[in-house]
Homo-oligomer: A and B are copies of this chain.
Amino acid sequence: MKAMVVPELGEPEVMQMRDWPTPEPGEHDLLVEVHATSVNPKDCHMRRHGLGKRLTLPFVLGYDVSGVVKAVGPKVEQFRVGDEVYASPSLVRPGANAELVLVDERTAALKPTNLDHVHAAAMPLVTITAWESLHHRAHLHSGETVLIHAGAGGVGHIAIQLAKLHECQVITTASRDESIEQCTQLGADAVINYANENVVDRVTELTGGRGCPVVLDAVGGEVFNESMRCLAPHGRLVTLLPPPADAPIHKLFSRGATLALEFMSAATLHKTRLSAQGEVLRTVTELVEAERLKVHVSHVFPLEALAEAHRQQETRHTVGKIAVTVK
């Protein structure tokens, strides 16, 4: 089969379309014909830095897929050939930037019938991340106020909607007009323009001096430190990136706070709680089919132009998601 391969670490243009061995399904695997995939920050990070000893060059990126089941492993129970499914493939196997990809059936679900493959492929990684962050990690309660950084981004724009579905107040951050507009349309109660407002001061003001019970940080670095200062007593801070090595995390102690390091790929990497991902996606399918949750795709590229898709991702200015068509 054809795949867009990373033969060496580097800039987007290192990637090349090559022949790649057709994968063989393991016991619980679905062999999925890839109709579409999407680009996530993880792709660009791995293209530049790899994944240490866990992944050797050359490798194939692509951690979202929507497509059709072509074959199943001997222990597969929930799906059959011909099913239209979506999932987020493992980081340590060849990804979905290819004609075919393997996904563990426990991590997959039938794609929403009212979404095409392009939109369905834009959902798994960011939606599982947002869901796990708010529900499995922060244990978000209805009525709580949640601060969602980068509300117009991939995870952010889904997290705003999930928090509103859970009857929470949403404060979010954005800077460009288009991003602010997007956040407002998705239901954010307050949008802080971080380019000309002090986020900590505004959050303090908006929460009557208490801070937010839940903060979701999809940005990291200085925003992580800022997030700590936005946290209410007993608050839960969920970060999608490793905290800075010098972050003064001990300062969270007097507030009795919790710090959750949300890395959705930990499930496939360590083969733990795989079925939680399939469960989230089944719920997402229901929400999308009921038109209660939507994904925003702002750019679509063919697989041949994946380098361009990566460049767009690396602007860090994309509203919503970048999808990639394969078939």
A→B interface (CB under 8 Å): 137, 139, 232-234, 241-245, 247-264, 266-267, 269-270, 272-273
A205 to B264, CA, bound (A): 27
Q: Which 6 A-B pairs have the closest CB atoms?
A: A256-B266, A233-B270, A242-B250, A242-B253, A256-B263, A258-B260
Q: Of B139, B247, B255, B261, which is within 8 A of A266 by CB?
A: B255
**Would you call B261 and A253 a contact (CB within 8 A)?**
yes
Q: Of B245, B251, B256, B260, which is within 8 A of A262 by CB?
A: B256
**Would you call A234 and B269 a contact (CB within 8 A)?**
no
A149 to B273, CA, bound (A): 26
Contacts A249-B259, A259-B259 given; indicate if A269 touches B254 (C-beta within 8 A): yes
Q: Give A50 Cβ to nearest chain B Cβ, in Å.
A: 13
Which residue in chain B gives the minimum CB-CB distance to A260?
Answer: B258
Across-interface contacts of A255 in B (CB, < 8 A): 261, 263, 266, 270
Across-interface contacts of A262 in B (CB, < 8 A): 256
In addition to A139-B139, A245-B250, 11 A-B residue pairs with Cβ atoms within 8 Å of each other are A233-B267, A234-B266, A234-B273, A242-B251, A247-B249, A254-B263, A254-B266, A255-B263, A255-B266, A256-B267, A259-B259
Contacts A139-B139, A273-B234 given; indicate if A250 touches B243 (C-beta within 8 A): yes
Across-interface contacts of A245 in B (CB, < 8 A): 248, 250
Q: Give A254 Cβ to nearest chain B Cβ, in Å.
A: 6
**Would you call A249 and B243 a contact (CB within 8 A)?**
yes
A242 to B253, CA, bound (A): 5
Across-interface contacts of A241 in B (CB, < 8 A): 253
17 chain-A/chain-B pairs, Cβ below 8 angstroms: A233-B270, A234-B266, A234-B272, A234-B273, A241-B253, A242-B250, A243-B249, A243-B250, A244-B250, A245-B248, A245-B250, A249-B249, A254-B263, A255-B261, A256-B261, A256-B266, A257-B261
A44 to B326, CA, bound (A): 65
Q: Give A197 Cβ to nearest chain B Cβ, in Å.
A: 26
Q: Give A61 Cβ to nearest chain B Cβ, in Å.
A: 18
Across-interface contacts of A232 in B (CB, < 8 A): 272
A254 to B263, CA, bound (A): 7
Across-interface contacts of A251 in B (CB, < 8 A): 242
Across-interface contacts of A139 in B (CB, < 8 A): 139
A264 to B262, CA, bound (A): 25
Contacts A233-B270, A234-B272 given; indicate if A263 touches B259 (C-beta within 8 A): no
Which residue in chain B gives the minimum CB-CB distance to A251?
Answer: B242
